[in-house]
Structure 1
């Protein structure tokens, strides 16, 4: 029934399986990829016709994680998968970026690639598997895809590269790198690193490229068995004549336009040249719309040719810079008065307002994914309003581009953050791009670093970022530092590198051609290092280290650790105790399972009160130590004082003052604040306190001036005890009836118990110690 084809390959010590022909058979190409017990299905469909007037390639990639893959039901109100999560958006981009450049120019048929995670074993990440499945499905579909591509994740620990590491290995190691490429070249790089050198990063990329070759071979082997017939493509029309005509018409105008250093002036001049071309070929718009669209595309090719030739032959860029110069930088810290931390970062015509907001644990981002609920205490949100490029456009929820740029900046800054133990705050960085002509994601890295330093976040080191470009013609190439927007559009590479003075923290590369070589990659890395160092120097003029004090508007958090066995004492039955602490002091209190308690408030006195309360619950009283206390109960023989939050002790009437106290209520009142010294703790934990040896104003210990009680004289020998018989015979005991009727017994009220430990008049145990007797 099924024309089932299957290929297996050993990859990184595990078996990778690719199979087709059993599932989703009506798609143009469908592949199930399995690694361990993680299974991903990718189905590809392609439109057979092109919409009239369409002049772009509509490729759409969707990656979806089914909660059933991990045996989970989605959390929240809606119990089904809904809009794409941040991770699903990022993986969709991860698949899209290396396959998009591998379709031929002029191919405009719409293509849809849907990758779904069907099974997840908690060990083998599905994103790499989804990239492999998408590559295989496209290769089988018959569409003009110049692949296949392979993909690999690389970790780094103890000087060794790890192929497809687990989440635990990535967390414990120094690198999380994803690379995609063809048999001959690297197409895409995405990474987060803990300040690694250029040599280590380059080695990781090359290791990944070598490691993905068995996957590419397996896809080719499967295609030999199951690939559909390739599509017939229309031959590319010879447009040499029209190109020459355009060059004569607007060539000089474009050359002059691209010598203007101001973006607005340059754009206006380019638009005038484009209008001139449209008017010259206006007759084609009615007679041959397809050819008319082709002419407009030739204008863009002519622009690219002018820019690229000037760079390769003359070393002169659009704005007049050489290949390595970074545009002027102006950085300003504490740009906004009420933000916990802020910065205005401007590089050329690219600018961001970055802010840092500090919060408590309850502000952490909850993530509901295949691995279960998790919480993230560092967030970075990137916003790109249309006015930043002088355009009118949609202003609303962030799109895929905003999510991707924000995550790139997040990866750049995350490795230099302090641990939760060192800085127990939730951190949110926002980047609002106010101008853009070049890499706004790298401006976000610089601005975000300054904003966190301004907020007092103790970063290991400042982080800067730079975007590199490439012009490649045959064997001749030029690497560009700090590229403009036009150089990005007309160039062959967008390569972003961020890091500190000690090494790289993130690296992202996208290629618009069929890959780059190790030589080009090495040149780009070394040139980026020089640019990063220059930018760090300019940033240091605004702020060279993290502030030692937090903003007056930021919450304060103090941490203490208690024994795990005391956690339930602090929480209390049904949370009664911790709710009382919060309600009384006004501070927030968070307790984790390890006994770490975080107390937060913008008022330090509230934090201090809550901490003292908690310490009073968990700490043991010390003999000889003086404490602040509160009178909670008065009795005839003294007063009970609460002195450590959850501990009470007895101040005997003789320990209230040096002079005799006739009535306790004449000296003390319930609720009165007193200072007491611990005299004794009996084996049962009952505490005897004293007020008279403590100065009630200063809390200092006083000398005990009361004379010591003289020892009693020993009693003499009273002789033998009389025998019971000597008492005489008292006769038979009277019967009850002989007592006569004495009437009803008087009502004396409740009887007062005098047993050891004591009870008050209402019958409540007052905890009288065994060593205390009433005077």
Structure 2
């Protein structure tokens, strides 16, 4: 029933399988690509006709990850895949960028390239598989595609390149690089690196290109078995005469416009030249008018490219290596945690850094499962930045892609979560744009992070390189303008520190570039990055040592895992009380690491002391601050160390005799206490009289020994009471002795009736039970504590 064709190729010790003819047979081309147990289906369809008046190529690439591929159900309220995630958007761009230049000029049929992840094994990333599947589907579809392309991911660890590493291997290494290439040349590069040298990066690109060639050969082998008949392409009539006519009409006007350094003035002059050409063909057929408009654009490209190659003169008068004037400033905004204004020529970005706590992390629900992102970078490109009106709404694919490029450039130099336990968000708002706003976001973002006190390893700068290639002649341009980007052959972005590259991205509009061109671009970019770093250092050359007054402070402490339950409390009761009382946020993980955060340092300290009081054991002889929480006839219960209670006996309140506790102390009163004794059951006996209540300093105990005191202060009855306690009847069900008639009978007071209420609250006559029945108050049981639960 199925006429299935299949090819296999070994890549990095893994088998890549390409199959067609079994699934999606009504599409123009459909291929299932498999590596390991990761499976991606890509289907290509193309319109057979072109809409009237259409003068652009409507290529749409859509990549989607099905949660069922990983055996998962989508999280959230809607249990169905909805709008594209950031990863899906970035992968769609990853597929689009290398294949778009390989369609012939003048081909305007609409094409859909749709890739679905059908199975994901958690080891082999589906983005590379999808790129290969898309290339194969286009190659066998019959549409005029000048491919195929191959794709490969490269890692780098311990001086060795790794081909198509697993997700874990990529995280452990110092490079994550993706390359797409034809058999002859590299088409696209995307990477994140940990300050690697130009030589290592170039070697990685060439290593990936060699692997891509194997993929190209496999796709050609599949096409030889299953390709459909190629479409006939109308090459069109000879337009050289018409182009010369336009050159005579507006050639000088265009050349004069591109000698104008101001973007707005240049734009006005170009619009005037285009209107002049349009007027010259006002009486022509509509199709000829359309052709004339396109030829004007070609004429612009020829004039600009010729001036650069022949005269070395760029649009704004610079040579090929000069970077536009730079002005950078930090602390640009008063209430942000960190901010900068970075201006390079007519490109400008306002960058801000915001610091948050762990609960501000971004939750990501993907094929890999639920994960959290502590560093975010969001790029915004409003239409006013280029002097235009237009749609202003949710970020598009371009904004997502530029933001991720800047994220990759800065992420390798960020401190670890242990070194800097903050969630970090950088926003880049482009206020002017004339070339490389993504690299302005890198520079401005680096300054904003340093202004916020984020301890970067080193500052990061970025530069965009361009290329003009005619035959064997080429010129690499540093810090390209927007027009040089549009009219040139390459957009080559490099970001890094003084020690090496952190991100590299390349897109081209021709059928690939050589190793020689890439090497020249990398060397020229290195010099440009160094110059930009020097200019940035004039604004701020190192990270601020203090955080903004408006930023939250985070203090980290570690407790024993066995104490986690005590800090959280039943149903979270204790930790909620700490947060509500102190005003600080408290996060605790399963390893016992606690993060306390607040913009008010006193709130952090209050929460820290409270937690320490819960987890630490009191020390005999040490002085603590506490609060009176309950008054009884024989003394006062004091809460200290946040979660501990102890009894200050009436005889330990003052050196002189206290007749009534309420005359001296009140509930809620702050006091200083010294721990006198902790019995084997954990009951704590405290003293106030040996502590200076103002300073907390210990005082000398001037009270004479009991045998030297007047008889009225000895209370021998209390001794008998103690002895009575020793004659208690033994343990009850709550583990307390009943106590004898004298002083320690109060042991019964520890027994809770119904499991909740202390027996002393059931005392008759309004006085606490078990306090001093038959004995002197001075020698009442000293180890009673409140039962707060």
Using structure 1 for the length normalisation, give the TM-score: 0.92
- Pairing of 1:116-515 with structure 2 (within 5 A): 116-286=116-286, 289=287, 291-515=288-512
**Whole-angstrom CA distance in 1 between matches of 2:80 and 2:662:** 67
Matches within 5 A, 1:474-623: 474-623=471-620
Moved more, 3-12 or 648-657: 648-657
The farther-off stretch of 654-663 and 422-431 is 654-663
Partner Cα distance (2:235, 2:607) in 1? 78
Q: Determine helix, strand or coil for the equivalent of 2:348.
A: strand
Deviation sequence 1:215-258 (CA, Å, 0-9, x none): 11111111111111111111342112112222222222221211
Distance 2:771 2:111 in 1: 85
2:745 to 740, 754, 760: 754
- Deviation string 1:445-497 (CA, Å, 9 cap, x unpaired) is 11111111112212111111100000111111110000001100110000001
Which deviations, in whole Å up to 9, do the C-alpha atoms of 1:290-336 show, x marking residues without a partner? x3322222111111111111111111101100000000011111111
Structure 2: which 5+ residue stretches go unaligned?
A: 710-741, 751-758, 773-777, 782-789
Partner of 1:668: 665
Distance in 2 (CA, whole Å) between partners of 1:573 and 1:415 is 41
Partner of 2:697: helix, strand, or coil?
coil
| Alignment size in residue pairs | 732
Does structure 1 residue 681 correspond to structure 2 residue 683?
no
Q: CA deviation at 1:768?
A: 9.2
Which stretch shows the higher mean deviation, 145-154 or 677-686? 677-686
| Aligned residue in 1 for 2:655 | 658
Distance 1:633 1:558 in 2: 33
Over aligned residues, Cα RMSD in angstroms? 2.0
Give the superposition deviation at 1:758. Answer: 4.3
| 1:61 aligns to 2:61 (yes or no) | yes
Give 2:720's aligned residue: none
Structure 1 residues 752 and 370, CA gap change in structure 2 (3 angstroms): farther
* Contact in 1 for aligned 2:771/2:780 (Cα 8 Å): no
CA deviations on 1:383-440 (whole Å, 9 max, x unpaired) are 1111111111111111111111111111111111111222222211111111111111
Q: Does the 8 A contact of 2:635 with 2:648 survive in 1?
A: yes
Q: Structure 1: how far apart are the matches of 2:684 and 2:445?
A: 55
> Residues 766 and 702 of structure 1: is their aligned pair in 2 closer, same or farther, counting only changes over 3 Å?
farther
Partner of 2:745, secondary structure, is: coil
Q: Give the structure 1 partner of residue 7 of structure 2.
A: 7
> Which deviations, in whole Å up to 9, do the C-alpha atoms of 1:644-669 show, x marking residues without a partner?
11111222333222233333333322
Residue range with higher mean Cα deviation, 134-143 or 371-380: 371-380
Aligned to 1:72: 72
Aligned: 1:112 with 2:77:
no
Decide which moves more: 659-668 or 560-569: 659-668
Could you tell me how far apart the structure 1 residues matched to 2:37 and 2:342 are? Answer: 47
Name whichever of 47-56 and 292-301 sits farther off: 292-301
Q: Deviation of residue 274 (structure 1)? A: 1.6
CA distance in 2, matches of 1:641, 1:165: 61
Given that 1:341 and 1:551 are in contact with CA atoms closer than 8 Å, whether structure 2 keeps it comes out as: yes
The Cα of 1:753 is off from its aligned counterpart by 8.5
- Distance in 1 between residues matched to 2:683 and 2:574, nearest whole Å: 22
TM-superposed deviation, 1:45:
0.2
Aligned partners of 1:706 and 1:559: how far apart in 2?
44
Instruction: Note if contact 2:195-2:501 (Cα within 8 Å) is conserved in structure 1.
Output: yes
How many Å separate the matches in 2 of 1:103 and 1:395? 31
Say if 1:757 and 1:768, in contact at 8 Å, map to a contact too. no
Aligned residue for 2:196, secondary structure, equals coil
Q: TM-score scaled to structure 2, two decimals?
A: 0.90
Encode CA deviations 1:200-229: one digit per residue, 9 max, x unaligned.
111111111112222111111111111111
Shift of 1:511: 0.9
Q: Which whole-Å deviations, capped at 9, do the CAs of 1:518-570 have from their partners, x for residues lacking one? A: 11101000100110111111111111111112222222222211122211111
Cα separation, 1, equivalents of 2:166 and 2:748 = 61
